[in-house]
């Protein structure tokens, strides 16, 4: 993180970060280690080499779908940042049950383990995808939640489970809904955020493909360093059982983003707009009044973030291959017949 001395203090000595080997998790673990906190990375993926070299960082391999493994992994934590799960909406469309197990069941297990172990603070990283198509702008935290992707439903299920545990058993949980995050270390094969995708296409001297209306499609982009600072602010000052938008409060259109990419690289960016689908040509902009009320303000401007990312990626980085998919192709009109394995004479049922 560039702004080390300005990191918000979190009053916990032993911190666990589920999903700490992932994109956001790696940045959060690094930031927490700068504050000399003992950090346990809880992940199913191996510990990245750069985290293994940090002082005070340890690693526990765990599958959070297993409650016993979850309890063992979190047993020494004063505070838990829960980031683990499927982060791809496209993946959730293709494999909704897998997405539900990782996000909804995994979060249920983390919440119950935190209760059982007496964890003093749980911060859950949710997503603005839970709002669905915005009914108004900017979006406040009390905006209706009508997710249109299985990913949104599974993240919302995690929220509802944790808030119910707060209401019935006093689970000390704070929920942050992240808007569109970007920054160093995103996987171009999985990350669908426009900032790094636009940069990668442009650095390959190619037109930037964009689906939808380049002026009506507007997003609230937050740099991963600011997102980590926001989560740390929630850990220290957020109110139990409450939800906070994690964003900048600024909307940027796809045209404006392309112009900013051109400015950051010193040569104009070309857009190749495909307007055959306007499904996501809306403004996704956060009302950040509640987050600002905790004393948080973003530090990394889009111009700074783009310049830093362009320098890191260098010329001709890997071209992004992640696609945004909103509907699954039907399986050729077939109906699958399931024969029940129990109860002799039970009729086969169709689904």
User: pLDDT tens digit string along 231-255?
Assistant: 999 999 999 999 999 999 999 999 9
Residue 53 lies in a domain: yes
Question: Considering the entire predicted model, what is its pTM?
Answer: 0.92
Q: Is the pLDDT of residue 154 over 90?
A: yes
Residue 101 lies in a domain: yes
Residue 49 lies in a domain: yes
Number of domains composing the chain: 1
Three-state SS string across 57-99, please?
EEEEECCCCCHHHHHHHHCCCCEEEECCCCCCHHHHHHCHHHH
Residue 118 lies in a domain: yes
Lowest mean pLDDT among 7-11, 91-95, 144-148, 260-264: 7-11
Residue 320 lies in a domain: no
Q: Is the pLDDT of residue 216 over 70?
A: yes
Residue 126 lies in a domain: yes
Q: What's the pLDDT score for residue 133?
A: 95
Q: What's the pLDDT score for residue 152?
A: 98
Residue 7 lies in a domain: no
User: pLDDT tens digit string along 43-96?
Assistant: 999 999 999 999 999 999 999 999 999 999 999 999 999 999 999 999 999 999
Q: What's the pLDDT score for residue 332?
A: 60
Average pLDDT over every residue of 19-26:
98
pLDDT above 70 covers a percentage of the chain that reads 93
**Sign of the torsion formed by the C-alpha atoms of 317, 318, 319 and 325:** negative
Give the domain range for residue 177: 12-313
Q: How confident is the model at residue 184 (pLDDT cuts 50, 70, 90)?
A: very high
Residue 319 lies in a domain: no
Write the DSSP symbol of residue 138.
S
Q: What's the pLDDT score for residue 267?
A: 97
* CA neighbor of 140 nearest in space, from 251, 249, 302: 249
Q: What is the CATH number of the domain that holds 279?
A: 3.40.50.720
- Neighbour count for residue 314 (Cβ, 10 Å): 8
């Amino acid at each position: 993180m560039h702004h080390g001395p300005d990191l918000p203090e979190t009053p916990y000595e032993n911190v666990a970060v589920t999903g700490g080997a992932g994109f956001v998790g790696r940045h959060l673990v690094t930031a927490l280690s700068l504050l000399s906190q003992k950090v346990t990375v809880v992940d199913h993926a191996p510990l990245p080499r750069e985290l293994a070299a940090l002082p005070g960082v340890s690693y526990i391999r765990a599958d959070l779908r297993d409650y016993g493994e979850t309890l063992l992994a979190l047993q020494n934590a004063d505070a838990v940042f829960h980031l683990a799960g499927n982060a791809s909406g496209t993946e959730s469309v293709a494999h909704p049950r897998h997405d539900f197990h990782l996000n909804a069941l995994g979060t249920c297990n983390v919440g119950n383990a935190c209760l059982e172990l007496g964890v003093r603070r749980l911060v859950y990283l949710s997503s603005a995808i839970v709002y669905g198509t915005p009914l108004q702008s900017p979006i406040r935290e009390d905006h209706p939640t009508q997710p249109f992707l299985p990913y949104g439903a599974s993240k919302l299920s995690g929220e509802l489970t944790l808030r119910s545990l707060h209401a019935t058993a006093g689970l000390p949980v704070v929920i942050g809904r992240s808007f569109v995050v970007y920054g160093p270390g995103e996987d171009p094969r999985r990350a669908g955020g426009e900032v790094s995708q636009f940069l990668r296409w442009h650095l390959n001297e190619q037109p930037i493909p964009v689906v939808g209306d380049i002026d009506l499609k507007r997003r609230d982009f937050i740099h991963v360093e600011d997102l980590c600072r926001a989560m740390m602010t929630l850990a220290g000052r957020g109110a139990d059982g409450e939800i906070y938008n994690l964003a900048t409060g600024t909307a940027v259109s796809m045209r404006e983003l392309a112009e900013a990419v051109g400015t950051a690289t010193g040569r104009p960016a070309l857009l190749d707009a495909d307007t055959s689908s306007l499904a996501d040509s809306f403004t996704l902009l956060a009302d950040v009044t509640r987050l600002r009320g905790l004393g948080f303000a973003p530090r990394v401007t889009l111009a700074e973030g783009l310049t830093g990312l362009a320098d890191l990626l260098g010329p001709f980085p890997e071209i992004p291959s992640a696609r945004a998919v909103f509907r699954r192709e039907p399986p050729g009109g077939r109906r699958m017949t399931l024969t029940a394995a129990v109860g002799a004479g039970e009729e086969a049922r169709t689904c």
